Amino acid sequence: MNSTVAIQRDHIESLQWFLFRVKPNTERTVQAGLVKRGIDAIVPEVTYNMRQRHSRKRVVRSYPALRSALLVGFESGPVPFREVLDAPHVHGVVGFSSFAARIRGSDVYDFITNPKLDKTGLRSEAVFVPDYVTGDTVLLSDGLMTGFKGTVVHTAGRVTKVLVPDFMGRSCEVDVRVDHAAKAA
């Protein structure tokens, strides 16, 4: 992680985040107005690699990931909701009953940097490389077999075949995703 990304992450995680409802298709306009006022606002976007109408050309287009919504961050202390609510096209803050729902900064950062928001196919996903090999003992961490230990029989692509010796009195082979098994101590 380079220093600018670390600084951006620290800044995002230090703020109090809230989700505001806005008029449809005005997310970017409202964001620009809030940024001019000195308020941190983010419109998470989904990018698509689309074919242009009546042409063979492909173009990359981005759309808001949250329709009619905007993430707004405030410094610690009293939250000035009125500044945002008085902006044009803002309908209100999302919450429960009369309380605004606060979103953790780490969740906001994870959401806006999520590789699943890139639907272009132009960026390659990170490939998980297991830290175990055939014959190692692994601890299963997801699914029905969570908490069981077993021996790796075979690893191919994204699937690992694990031999679990004591499952209901007998041994069985289980196919597990590579990232759902970790080398046991």
pLDDT tens digits for range 96-131: 767 788 888 888 888 887 767 766 655 555 566 677
Three-state DSSP class for 145?
coil
Does residue 139 contact residue 123 with C-beta atoms inside 8 Å?
Answer: no
* Rounded-to-integer distance, Cα 111 and Cα 126, Å: 16
* Rounded-to-integer distance, Cα 63 and Cα 106, Å: 23
The domain locations on the chain are 3-119, 137-183
State the Cα angle at 100 between 98 and 102, rounded to 5°.
Answer: 155
Three-state DSSP class for 107?
helix
CATH of domain 137-183: 2.30.30
Specify the pTM: 0.59
Does residue 52 contact residue 58 with C-beta atoms inside 8 Å?
Answer: yes
Is the model more confident about 126 or about 21?
21
Among 131, 147, 145, 143, CA closest to 173: 145
**Predicted confidence (pLDDT) per residue in 147-183, tens digit:** 888 888 887 776 778 777 776 778 888 888 777 788 8
Q: What is the mean pLDDT of residues 63-79?
A: 87
Compute the Cα dihedral for 36, 38, 39, 42 and give only its sign: positive
The owner of tokens 């490389």 is 129
State the Cα angle at 175 between 172 and 181, rounded to 5°.
Answer: 100
CATH of domain 3-119: 3.30.70.940
Mean pLDDT over the full length of the chain: 80
